[in-house]
Structure 1
């Protein structure tokens, strides 16, 4: 019995920062002239224009968590202080998104939810957001709750895989999957290149999906789950890691990550698709986690994709930055909302510590708006203007 992704919803924290503003702040906090030049160069090349944060500390010098010190540098909050803000902000964002998800998908009522699968790697709380979703929305107290912790940018895939397995085992299951990350709470200011790169890329956001084995209503596009696959890039463990320090969580992010992904991605996918009796040419749409501009360029080059194949991934990176685990769901949502054909085979890919590569194949069914309707809407907008 197949499982379906009926709907994907997204949400962001309230504070929006331009890339220019973030770059200026970081240049003020690093100390070495060489680091200041590096900040400017790296931020300019990210492909990011805006990003969201759960904290407004970056707008002022005396923030709740981050404060600019008399010498112009920034303090380094403890892990406990950062996690306390995570617990508060994650609850608010998770509950807000859960309400939004159900409101946008009237096929399901809150009493239909049987499972909540929550994924995050940027904080810990118990009772956590999964608990508060049930309490604050008034879901059945018998809802099964599962938390997937500390897996990084690819966590949406094990979360969706778990949900699909629940639905395949129980046709009555309706699973709310949520990925929520508050990466900005772990800002680490250092003159080291890897620290500057991490600060330049990561941002905050959340995404949720409703997954069940019920036949979709057909009034909106949806994904039919075809399958998932996990792989590890050889000899890459030291190039991407995420651990807990005394002053926040620490990111290890080597400059070689894009090259490692690029040099392995084609062989990996060819092998994965062969097991499904598929080829690369069978894929119509690509939902690639925009871990950074260089990663997208490497994937595009080594898979020999058309110039516009990763346009949605680039748009998500531009508007939101790398939000870790929710990011690929933002891409999948964008593809659904702009679907112009009744069917497309979609390959979703994300990368994370390890170096881990997670993939999924979905059959996208239904069109959000036809090309004719889109052209007519554009013409009407032009006339109104």
Structure 2
């Protein structure tokens, strides 16, 4: 039996500029074009988000920044500006590559056994900007990886994209036992925030943030063990009735997130059916609905798409408050960083939740479609 691929040396970073949720709320609620109803929706969405702080690459969004020619926020007037998609993407090109390279470098430096020359594949993940040659090229050049490294980009898939990226990495390792796959996710969601009276846009504005994560996936045996997760099994589920409720489109003034207030209920109502195939007897020795999943799975790495989504997942899967703690804490401290977020939750489970060798982990993330991507993992700590 072949050795399972291991996700190891998981690292996460955020930009330097901190956004306090209450301060951002007040800025958005004070925009002069908003009617009284929209102002109330802004206040309710921000107050109920479960978020204290978020991070952004846009220094000018800070209330203390002194920007000579503001493009996104004029601090003197308090007005949120509306730059074009071209302007927003130019900022992505300027800022994203630094986070890609930094996250990738940190992952390699954190690994006690893997060096740059060992890397055979690079997978980059993002849905918040585009350019070519892209971040995969930047990583290879900046870190001195072999020029014949295979490079792949998972683009514009949304919040769930790190899960299929890990699945692809595991498949590369199954096909080539010597493969070492570097997976890097960078999302600059704040580039696309804007003032709006649309309730769906307001909800998105109250949630999204910037962040980056990277890890190494390999089935090779190295002299030094790095704590991580064995990638045991993946599953994709679709909730087709939610297609119109979660989407990601390109507009003239940035990318446009459709995130309706119906999403939490849709996920709650359908999550059991969407994920049950992953929990059949071959995987856990029990079925999904026989009441023993909580005993078999110790840790749950749920993508915190929003507080209401976590509430519905907790309710419908019968999870404990402690099992949702890492997801809620990531949401509170960092907001929703799209595809990078579930990697933040996995790192928290490994480093802050007392995960022990051999414990089972269920990870899942939701995105456009509605698509639910999930994985079963096993903690590898020794």
Tell me how far 1:236 sits from its aligned partner. Answer: 1.2
| Cα separation, partners in 2 of 1:210 and 1:63, compared to 1, 3 Å | farther
Partner residue, 2:290: none
Residue 31 of structure 1 pairs with residue 31 of structure 2 = no
Measure, in 2, the Cα distance between the counterparts of 1:217 and 1:345.
Answer: 24
The residue aligned with 2:365 is 350
Partner of 2:253: 247
Check whether the contact 1:65–1:82 (CA below 8 A) recurs between aligned residues.
no
Quick check: 1:321 aligned with 2:335?
A: yes
Residue 148 in structure 1 maps to residue 148 in structure 2: no
Q: TM-score, normalised by structure 2?
A: 0.92
Cα 1:49–1:67 shift into 2, 3 Å = closer
**Cα displacement (A) at 1:217:** 5.0
The Cα shift of 1:33 comes to 2.3
Task: Write the mapping of 1:71-220 to structure 2, written as runs, cut at 5 A.
Answer: 73-215=79-221, 219-220=225-226
Partner of 2:13: 11
1:295 is aligned to 2:295: no
Distance 1:220 1:67 in 2: 43
SS class of match (1:92): helix
User: C-alpha displacement at 1:215, in angstroms?
Assistant: 2.6
- Specify the alignment match of 1:65 in structure 2: 71
Structure 1: how far apart are the matches of 2:75 and 2:112?
50
Say if 1:218 and 1:366, in contact at 8 Å, map to a contact too: no
Q: How many positions carry a matched residue from both structures?
A: 367
Q: Is the 1:4–1:216 contact (alpha carbons within 8 Å) kept by the matching residues of 2?
A: no
- Greater alpha carbon shift after TM alignment, 210-219 vs 308-317: 210-219
1:310 to 305, 309, 324: 324
Matched, 1:341 2:356: yes
Secondary structure of the corresponding residue to residue 276 of structure 1: helix
Gaps of 5+ in 1: 368-385
Distance between the aligned counterparts of 1:31 and 1:73, measured in 2? 12
Deviations along 1:342-365, one digit per CA (max 9) or x if unpaired, are 221100000000000000000112
Provide TM-score, normalisation by structure 1: 0.91
Structure 2: 5+ residue runs without aligned partners? 288-292
Distance 1:133 1:234 in 2: 36
